[in-house]
Structure 1
Amino acid sequence: MNNHAVFSFFSGSGFLDLGFENSDFDIAFVNELNPDFMKAYKYSREHLGKEAPRFGYHENSIDDFLAAEEKSLKDRVTTAKTLYQTVGFIGGPPCPDFSVGGKNKGREGENGRLSKSYIDTIINNKPDWFLFENVKGLWRTTKHREFYEQLKHELSSAGYEITDRLVNSLEFGAPQDRQRILMFGVLKTRKLSIQNFNWEQQMKFPGNMALNFQWPSKDCFQGTPTQTDAPEELTINWWFNKNNVETHPNGTDYFTPRAGLAKFEVIEEGDDSKKSYKRLHRNRYSPTAAYGNNEVHLHPWLARRISAAEALAIQSLPKEFVLPPTMTLSAKFKTIGNGVPYLLAVGMAKTIDDFLQGK
């Protein structure tokens, strides 16, 4: 048995959880409200040969655990603390209310309120440590930053030492320019100095290193693509090959438009300047994997949208990770876009483990 138990909230289809599990953490408890995502979570685990969580799957709102009469979660946490060296909570509450391109309702929005619910769940159940993930708008937007600082104050008052950082998935080697705010906290009673938490310990390209390579800009569609001297592991094409996207079970899962095909044939390779209809460049990283709100990502050299298999590769998932064939295309792309890049999850899991072990 591993040293650390993880209680996962807003689990989606399990990208963040898989990174922790493959870094020697036990996923002991899973909570996800969306039934499509929960089915995909279970399907992918079975496909990967993973055991079911010790304390089960829970398809309900996190608010249910905050009800006065609800004690099942606290009982499970108490039991887990007798079985493991530490117990941690991980989760990224839905973030459209804090996203610059989203609803921007902040704490008053339905999704914004769930961030407070997650923090209250941490405070009520006192895991040894926690990880909170959200969009950069919660960090950078003035009106949202006030709310974020309030959450940090409540956690500190409840006995947690806290550290946070705005990270980019490129720093961990995922081929995607995706910024997220991460907050890590540990109970003061664990007697671990938060000053020893090294955010860059598992980063391959810390800071702006990945962005500062000489990347190709735009090339004629189906012409000769510009090469790059940047690490190929940060390029889309390298990941497409690595994950065998053409033969992947989700390789033919993509939207076929009823009209607008002409537009697919004129947008240059690498032209991602518009909000919609971005064509990826094979020798560059992808923009943020966001496939809703009319944001259409086109295949670098084919006149079509990218497939679910290609989107999973952009999220740096192992090629063995598969979404169920019965899942709708909309649900597939929504859960992929919502997920935490796998390599970022692995990097954070190893960083947290090193910190907890006093390395």
Structure 2
Amino acid sequence: MKSPSIFSFFSGAGFLDLGFEMAGYPIAYVNEIHPPFLKTYKHARQILNIPEPQYGFYEGDISDLLDNNANSEIKSLIKDCKMGTDIIGFIGGPPCPDFSVGGKNRGRMGDNGKLSATYVTLICEQKPSFFLFENVKGLWKTKKHREFYEELKYQLHQSGYVTTERLINSLEYGVPQHRERIILIGFQRELLNDLGYKFGDITSLPEDLFPWKSHFKYPLNEVLSYPWPTTNPFNADSELPCPDGIPVELTVEYWFRKNDVLNHPNSSQYFQPRAGKTKFAKIDEGDDSKKSHKRLHRWRYSPTAAYGNNEVHLHPYKIRRISVAEALAIQSLPPEYELPLDISLTDAFKTIGNGVPYLASLGIAQTILDFLGVKTTCDLPLLNSSWQSTSCQKIEPILT
């Protein structure tokens, strides 16, 4: 069976796509409405020497793809793509502020909330072999949004999909970030039958059949039980030895060093405080108890990388906010990945915060391949870099 080809929607800067690419999936089609995000997508892949998608980029509203002409064009592209592969996958994470606990909470009626329904409708009309739907946990956990989520699933089941879902945490995949997201994956029943799975009329995969944990690196209950440091008095440019008994690979400092953030092309890009730095110096290292002005701890993982709605993350031991380079490291991007220098800081941090952490994307992509029984090869240069081959190996603690 040939490697599945991917049609990507709400692509942003392409963190989710990059994980699938590095797992061996060709990216055939990319959709993103926001020009600076699409510019970032193109720039990063040019730097990484990754070929453009087979069918190029569509800059526009996904809702427009439901129009008769655009719908027919997508269908034609899928038909053409199937001449070179057996499996087509749709992947995407519709914008989530309307379901976020800390967002506007407008749910299905919000402009962003409606896009989840649009994405599901597009899946049901085009019927890819499989799909991935990513969103915030509020869509899955909050009672008033869960009803909408279940309606979306019902629509997918009626269109012939058998689904599986999990509330993942990026820590499980080796990302230095406590980030929970609901991942819904569905496979066409016909594909499952061809693979030898006989389920009758069920609409959800048996719990133990889809190997969700096969690419976990750290069981969440173990991660949360380690003796992580809590807070230390803030001391600018200080040294603080790594404590014993923690997985150093999940710490902010490990990734800052691993990605050489001080020499990264985006190292000098960070917001300057409007009212001076006095307030910054009063916040302890590791004090992330407030909604805004959370100071990261160098020897702990980061809270969710969310840099909008006045949420400010401060550098552990410098009197400033974190930089674009440091935010990319927290999202587990390879050091070669960079953003263009001529987009606004607001767009830079927004697209970083919106993205699915790279190592989580890679792990999920590999898990789907395991389930499908597909073996892929990837000739992209990044796969053979020293970063890729050592990113998950145990190393000695780094002392500041």
* CA distance in 1 between partners of 2:142 and 2:153 (Å): 16
Give CA deviations for 1:79-113 in whole Å, capped at 9, x if unaligned.
11121121000000000000000010000000000
Q: State yes or no: 1:197 paired with 2:210.
A: yes
Question: Are 1:215 and 1:228, in contact at CA under 8 Å, matched by a contact in 2?
Answer: no
* CA distance in 1 between partners of 2:138 and 2:222 (Å): 22
Match of residue 239 from structure 1: 255
Aligned with 2:181: secondary structure? Answer: strand
Question: Are 1:2 and 1:26, in contact at CA under 8 Å, matched by a contact in 2?
Answer: no
Q: State yes or no: 1:9 paired with 2:22.
A: no
* CA distance in 2 between partners of 1:68 and 1:143 (Å): 33
Higher RCO by CA contacts (8 Å cutoff, separation 6 or greater): 2
Over 3 Å counting, the alpha-carbon distance change for 1:119 and 1:199 in structure 2 is same
Match of residue 21 from structure 1: 21
Match of 1:281 among 259, 284, 297: 297
Instruction: Write the mapping of 1:207-246 to structure 2, written as runs, cut at 5 A.
Output: 207-222=220-235, 225=240, 227-246=243-262
Instruction: Write the mapping of 1:86-105 to structure 2, written as runs, cut at 5 A.
Output: 86-105=87-106
* CA distance in 2 between partners of 1:221 and 1:256 (Å): 19
Which amino acid is 2:341 matched to?
A: P
Match of 2:330 among 294, 314, 320: 314
Q: State yes or no: 1:340 paired with 2:368.
A: no
Question: Are 1:175 and 1:235, in contact at CA under 8 Å, matched by a contact in 2?
Answer: yes
Question: Are 2:252 and 2:299, in contact at CA under 8 Å, matched by a contact in 1?
Answer: yes
Question: Are 1:100 and 1:137, in contact at CA under 8 Å, matched by a contact in 2?
Answer: yes
Question: Are 1:218 and 1:281, in contact at CA under 8 Å, matched by a contact in 2?
Answer: yes
Match of residue 266 from structure 1: 282
Match of residue 41 from structure 2: 41
Question: Are 1:216 and 1:228, in contact at CA under 8 Å, matched by a contact in 2?
Answer: no
Q: CA deviation at 1:213?
A: 1.2
Q: CA deviation at 1:197?
A: 1.1
Of stretches 160-169 and 193-202 in structure 1, the one that deviates more from structure 2 is: 193-202
Aligned with 1:317: secondary structure? Answer: coil
Match of residue 106 from structure 1: 107
Match of residue 320 from structure 2: 304
Question: Are 2:90 and 2:130, in contact at CA under 8 Å, matched by a contact in 1?
Answer: yes
Question: Are 1:2 and 1:25, in contact at CA under 8 Å, matched by a contact in 2?
Answer: no
Instruction: Write the mapping of 1:49-60 to structure 2, written as runs, cut at 5 A.
Output: 49-60=49-60
Question: Are 2:140 and 2:182, in contact at CA under 8 Å, matched by a contact in 1?
Answer: yes
Aligned with 2:163: secondary structure? Answer: strand
* CA distance in 1 between partners of 2:280 and 2:244 (Å): 24
Match of residue 31 from structure 1: 31
Normalization by structure 1: what TM-score?
A: 0.98
Question: Are 1:16 and 1:341, in contact at CA under 8 Å, matched by a contact in 2?
Answer: yes
* CA distance in 1 between partners of 2:116 and 2:165 (Å): 16
Question: Are 1:137 and 1:144, in contact at CA under 8 Å, matched by a contact in 2?
Answer: yes
Q: State yes or no: 1:117 paired with 2:118.
A: yes
Aligned with 1:201: secondary structure? Answer: helix
Match of residue 130 from structure 2: 129
* CA distance in 1 between partners of 2:224 and 2:122 (Å): 37
Which amino acid is 2:282 matched to?
A: V
Question: Are 1:199 and 1:351, in contact at CA under 8 Å, matched by a contact in 2?
Answer: yes
Which amino acid is 1:154 matched to?
A: Q
Aligned with 1:118: secondary structure? Answer: helix
Q: CA deviation at 1:36?
A: 0.4
* CA distance in 1 between partners of 2:56 and 2:372 (Å): 25
Question: Are 2:168 and 2:181, in contact at CA under 8 Å, matched by a contact in 1?
Answer: yes
Give CA deviations for 1:166-220 in whole Å, capped at 9, x if unaligned.
0000000000000000000000001254332111110011332212211000001
Question: Are 1:90 and 1:132, in contact at CA under 8 Å, matched by a contact in 2?
Answer: yes
Q: CA deviation at 1:228?
A: 4.2
Normalization by structure 2: what TM-score?
A: 0.88
Query: Share of identical aligned residues, percent?
Result: 55
Q: CA deviation at 1:3?
A: 1.1
Q: State yes or no: 1:163 paired with 2:176.
A: no
* CA distance in 2 between partners of 1:307 and 1:207 (Å): 28
* CA distance in 2 between partners of 1:68 and 1:58 (Å): 16
* CA distance in 2 between partners of 1:55 and 1:236 (Å): 38
Which amino acid is 1:219 matched to?
A: N
Of stretches 67-76 and 313-322 in structure 1, the one that deviates more from structure 2 is: 67-76
Question: Are 2:267 and 2:323, in contact at CA under 8 Å, matched by a contact in 1?
Answer: yes
Report the number of matched residues: 359
Match of residue 176 from structure 1: 177
Q: State yes or no: 1:325 paired with 2:335.
A: no
CA RMSD of aligned residues (A): 1.4
Which ranges in structure 1 are unaligned for 5 or more consecutive residues? Answer: none
Q: CA deviation at 1:224?
A: 5.7
